[in-house]
Amino acid sequence: MAILVNKDSKIIVQGITGSEGSFHASQCLEYGDNIVGGVTPGKGGQTALEGAVPVFNSCQEARDKVGANVSLIFVPPAFAADAIMEAAAAGIELIVCITEGIPVAQMVEVKAFVATTGSRFIGPNCPGILTPDEAKVGIMPGFIARKGSVGVISKSGTLTYEAVDQLCKQGLGQSTCIGIGGDPIIGTTMTDLLEMFEADPETEAIVMIGEIGGSMEIEAAQYARDHVSKPVIGFIAGQTAPPGRRMGHAGAIVSGADESAAAKKRIMAECGITVVESPADIGRTVKAILK
């Protein structure tokens, strides 16, 4: 089960002939992903990953010819918005965009565009999705994770790895790990994923790692209070971040009172989420709850 991706996912990589795309696509292939092709406009008919997969000119072609249902996007920021819309228009069911640096105004349009299709979109500016032992659609290091029953949702890349590592050290595996991205506009929210993990029989507990900026964690906490029966363990990074400064991620900036780490943690706790104060205590806390 798990959520979003599994060993049956038929994955294409948009931007597979670029350096980022080809490097990470080969890593995914090595992990055991079912990569059925790549898309680079103008390079249709060629092959990629040392002849392992065909390259198509468009997502539609990839969908028609090899039945792709998941797309992983590595195209540069100036072309990424268009690539996401192309995948959605072609009926690709799940779109994961790794690209960092897409203009916000373009993301506003992308989000509205994707909403008119049936696609689910993750990212941008994210590490992607990892369902241990089944599929890695993104750039997470596969070897740090192991199969299990903890769902992980995070705005951050390396902090997710840290959490996953702590879980494994406690003997806890993961059902699926999702990096949703740290941009102001993202395709799939924490609330969306809480809903999916709640419905997933394999998931027993959910780790939710947020950060300063925006109100997504608060909305997710309120959703969890009303609709999630499984334990949710939360952490918010940026307690020490100065207000008004952008902390690396485009969306990590405190611009209102409820966007600070303290405010988010307080509201999350009020909603019944187990809030972890120290980022070093994530694994231990989950272990204690699942005992």
Partner 1 sequence: MKIHEYQAKELLKGYGIPIQGGVIIEDSAEAEAAIDQVNKELGAEQYVIKAQVHAGGRGKGGGVKFASDRAGALEQIQAILGMTLVTHQTGPEGRLVKKVMVGEALDIKQEFYAAITLDRSKDMDVFMVSSEGGMEIEEVAKTAPEKIVKEAIRPGFGLRPFQARNLALALGLEGPAAKQAIGMFQKLYQLYRDLDCSIVEINPLIVTEQGDLVALDAKIVFDENALYLHSDIAEMRDLNEEDPAEVEAAKYHLNYIKLDGTVGCMVNGAGLAMATMDIIKQRGGSPANFLDVGGGANVETVKNGFRIILADENVKAVLINIFGGIVRCDRIANGIIEAVKVLDLNVPVVVRLAGTNADVAKELLANSGVSIISADSFEDAALKVVEAAKG
**Residue 171 touching partner 1 (CB under 8 A):** no
Task: List the one residue from 225, 279, 287, 290 that touches partner 1 (CB under 8 A).
Answer: 279
Which residue, 62 or 236, is less far from partner 1 as judged by CB? Answer: 236
Which residue, 158 or 227, is less far from partner 1 as judged by CB? Answer: 158
What type of residue sits at position 98? Answer: I
Stretch that binds partner 1, among 36-44, 85-93, 105-113, 196-204 (CB under 8 A): 105-113
- Subset of 207-246 contacting partner 1 (CB under 8 A): 209, 211-216, 219, 235, 237-242, 244-245
* Residue that is written with structure tokens 């690209």 in the block: 99
Enclosing H/E stretch for 226 = helix 216-227
Single out the catalytic residue among 136, 155, 249, 265.
249
Which residue, 62 or 96, is less far from partner 1 as judged by CB? Answer: 96
Farthest CA pair distance, the chain: 56
**Residue 82 touching partner 1 (CB under 8 A):** no
Closest CA to 64 of 109, 12, 113: 12
**Residue 157 touching partner 1 (CB under 8 A):** yes
Burial 179-209 (b: 16+ CB within 10 A, else e): bbbbbbbbbbbbbbbbbbbbebebbbbbbbb
What residues does 37 pair with on adjacent strands? 12
Task: List the one residue from 8, 32, 67, 101 that touches partner 1 (CB under 8 A).
Answer: 101
Distance of CA 10 to CAs 56, 57, 82, 133, Å? Answer: 15, 17, 21, 16
C-alpha span between 291 and 67 (Å, rounded): 43
* Residue that is written with structure tokens 């959910």 in the block: 206
**Residue 160 touching partner 1 (CB under 8 A):** yes
249 flagged as catalytic: yes
**Residue 156 touching partner 1 (CB under 8 A):** yes
When computed from its CA atoms, the radius of gyration of the chain, rounded to whole angstroms, is 18
Closest approach of Cβ 101 to partner 1, in Å? 5
Catalytic positions, please? Answer: 249
For partner 1, the binding residues (CB under 8 A) are 77-78, 101-106, 108-109, 111-112, 127, 139-141, 143-144, 154-162, 165, 182, 184-185, 209, 211-216, 219, 235, 237-242, 244-245, 247-252, 256-257, 261, 277-280
